[in-house]
Amino acid sequence: MTLAFFKRVLFLIVFGLAGTGQVLAERHDPVTVSHGYSFFGDLKYPADFPHLDYVNPDAPKGGEISQWGFGTFDSFNAYARKGNTASLSSVPYEAILTGFADDATATYCFLCTTIEYPESLDWAIFNLRDDVTFSDGSAMAAEDVKFTFDLFMEQGLPSYRAAVSGMVASIEVLDPLRIKFIFAEEAPRRDVIELAGGIPVFSKSWFESTGARLDDSSLTPFIGTGPYALESFEINERVIYERRAGYWGENIPANIGRNNFDRIRVEYFADSAAAFEGFKAGVYTFRSENSSKQWATSYDFGAIEAGHVVKTELRDGGLALAQAYVFNLRREKFQDPLVREALGLMFNFEWSNEQLFYGLYDRVNSFWGNSELEAVGVPVGDELAVLQSLVDQGLIHDDILTAPAVMAPVSGSRQLDRKSLRRASFLMDQAGWLVNSDGMREKNGQVFTLEVLAGSPAFDRITNPMIANMKSLGVDASLNRVDWAQVTERSRAYDFDVMNHSMRMSFEPSSGLEQYFGTKAMEGSSRNLMGFSDQAADALIELVVRSESKGDLNTRIRALDRVLRSKMFWIPQWFKAVHTVAYYDQYEHPDPLPPYALGELDFWWFNAEKAGILDVAGALN
């Protein structure tokens, strides 16, 4: 044993940083005490950092920022399947650990001062801050953390309970400000600390006094420790959150230059067209534009011409969002990959980008696009070895070893690309869906029907040409646009053929992949909307979770990306590597922005002088 090790043990004994009885029992396993955690690499920020690099530490406090919300809401509980949750309903809550927008692979103490953990990662102790208070003024303690964890295990979403229960063996409250998580022997060690420290902390006394439940919808938010709390709301019209007076974390280094607005307001609209008109009229003040047509053609209204509204593109260094139409694989007609490939050929991205998107987008091809994690070309080196092992186990066909990674099809400049139609027709024939006397695809006396379920009219102009192309293929295709409540209800019941879905990946994915692509979560996760189940993918997820080095992790993610893309359960859509935003000229932001966040509600701020100019001009409603 080294001198450094004995010094560390002595430090733990003298200052009480090890649990009772743990020092002797675990003396063979060195204990790290740190202000943050990263499994693979060093922390960007030291323990004594004054503020985050990407904020303006002198940003003024005050003012309001407002955005728009779509559809309806009837609950402020973001952790239940019941009800339609209001926008930003999780904003009042904080977790023990937090991440920063310029350090994508690390987490840092937030409600804690330090973390203790052995080299084996068999347990972790969080030393909690002594100044954290809930919005009712009561102090947060270790009992609140344990209560919250137990609450999620009793009343949380089934898929979450199933995942977490296999990772945490027990929790011990060591004293009022120290809590210990003991991890299950089989739990992947890369996940355990972030999982334990990532749970939002609720007030035990508030839950016990109110009788509230985590699995019920509620128009009364749970109280939290966060900088904002609900001020007021009008059902289906607006929600307003206000910055808490006396917020405990106002001046800690992690919050300097952040949480700058006094109020955050969300105005609700029934559809995107009405929402855009509301922005033009000054009903709300910040808009992240996701319609390429509006971005290219509609920002010529009076407030733009008068200089009251800023229209700009800001750098986005994050992963390309894996946005797509997804098939419901629970339905027999979509279980044949030939059918899925044929239908995917009927979305003409090139025509859509030219005619509908004004050339603003690139095609999504990968679940980790815009990064080094994307599978490219044919597999080589370590990735090839990983895939060979799957072939040897009989989990996947050996053609994946020599074929390039599946890319989205490239079509011509006409909406209905004849080459794509011929290929799709051949595939449907091979799958046994033959053209009958009415020109419809039929098998065993059943016509192939397909319904795209949607809630927003903004996609109509994109989806309808795809529907028309599918009809040319002989598919009885239709778009069914329903209200948002029905979209929520039907997606939760998996009652759909095809839907829009966004699969948000990370730079260091781990057990969360189970929720998107794992067989275990196929029937219990809103993230695995498509009902995907595949033995090769399950095996790769297991390898990703248990990666011991960054090199192994990246190799295995690329292999997983390649396998997922080969299954063609999606019709990949589009992305852009910039944030397209417009806002009334009363806000400012750091320049440059951090690579992984736009941060308009986080570290932007209000300029009172500019707001006064807008007020005199009558620019805001």
What CATH number has the domain bearing residue 313?
A: 3.40.190.10
Q: How many CB atoms lie within 10 A of CB 331?
A: 14
Say yes or no: 530 and 438 in one domain: yes
605 in the same domain as 465: no
With respect to residue 358, please indicate whether it lies within any of the assigned structural domains. Answer: yes
Q: Are 472 and 533 in the same domain?
A: yes
Q: Within a domain: residue 613?
A: yes
**Rounded to whole angstroms, how far apart are CA atoms 303 and 83?**
37
8 A C-beta contact, residue 346 and residue 414:
no
Same domain, 88 and 237: no
- Contact between 205 and 138 under an 8 Å Cβ cutoff? The reply is yes
Domain total of the chain: 4
Low-confidence ranges of the chain (pLDDT < 50): 1-27
Say yes or no: 368 and 470 in one domain: yes
C-alpha pair distances (Å), 528 with each of 67, 341, 388, 516: 29, 19, 26, 4
> Quick one: 377 and 465 in the same domain?
yes
- Helices of type H across 112-253: 142-155, 158-165, 189-197, 204-210
The pLDDT score that the predictor gives to residue 561 is: 98
Q: Which tokens in the block code for residue 416?
A: 């209905």
Residue 205, C-beta contacts closer than 8 angstroms, at least 6 positions apart: 138
Please give the pLDDT value at position 621: 87
Q: How far is CA 490 from each of CA 93, 480, 498, 524, rounded to the nearest angstrom?
A: 29, 12, 11, 14
Same domain (yes/no): 121, 42: yes
pLDDT in the model for residue 158: 81
Please tell me whether residues 433 and 528 are part of one structural domain.
Answer: yes
Q: Range of 545's domain?
A: 322-575
283/332 same-domain check: no
State CA 220 to chain mean position distance: 25
For 562, the enclosing helix (H) or strand (E) is: helix 550-567
